[in-house]
Amino acid sequence: MFMYEKRLEYPVNIKRRNLKFAKDLLTQLGGPNGELAASLRYLSQSFSMPDQKGKALLSDIATEELGHVEIISTMLKQLTEGATIEEIKEAGFDPIYAQKGLAIYPSSSTGEPFTVAYIESMQDVLANLSEDMAAEQKARATYEYLINLCDDKDVIGILLFLRQREIVHFNRFKELYEEYEKKGY
């Protein structure tokens, strides 16, 4: 059962509008290595775990990733709020705007809509956990790329937090992988 607490896991208070960066950040909402894909992947895989420990870990991390979807969506809202048509065009946001306006819509930074093809789930526990470790490393790398593209300390602080959570998740998946490997799963 999920319980929703009406506060973000990390505070988001971006003071400067930046549509160009918002377009880049979209990848962590609805791109192949983004938070929505991670959440759905881990939740789906939790049902294939051989014991309660594995189910709980994947469900916990899936739930946290949903919280990250909320953080990214809040960032996108603050980065785009009040944008003029000229700013939208200048940032190259106009193809997305033409279809969705400034609505928060899960897509990649190139405008590709989210697809369940990003989600991998098999009955093989070790294959799933290997996939999960790789997914966390890809997300970590993506956050590092985004940090390199950003000059706003309000945004960078949030990205650093999210990057660190990817490292924690990787380590938790690795621990479970090693435990299950020893058990012969």
Residue-wise pLDDT tens digits, 82-137: 999 999 999 998 998 998 999 999 999 888 999 999 999 999 999 999 999 999 99
Percent of the chain with pLDDT over 90: 90
CA distance 26 to 80: 12
Q: Tell me: the pLDDT tens digits for 144-173?
A: 999 999 999 999 999 999 999 999 999 999
**What is the CA 98 to chain-centroid distance, rounded?**
24
Q: Give the chain's domains with CATH numbers.
A: 19-111+122-183 (1.20.1260.10)
Q: What's the whole-model pTM score?
A: 0.95
> How confident is the model at residue 2, as a pLDDT?
66
Contact criterion met (CB below 8 Å) for 163 and 143: yes
Count of CA atoms in the C-beta half-sphere (13 A) of 38:
31
Contact criterion met (CB below 8 Å) for 79 and 25: yes
Q: The dihedral of CA 102, 107, 111, 113: what is its sign?
A: negative
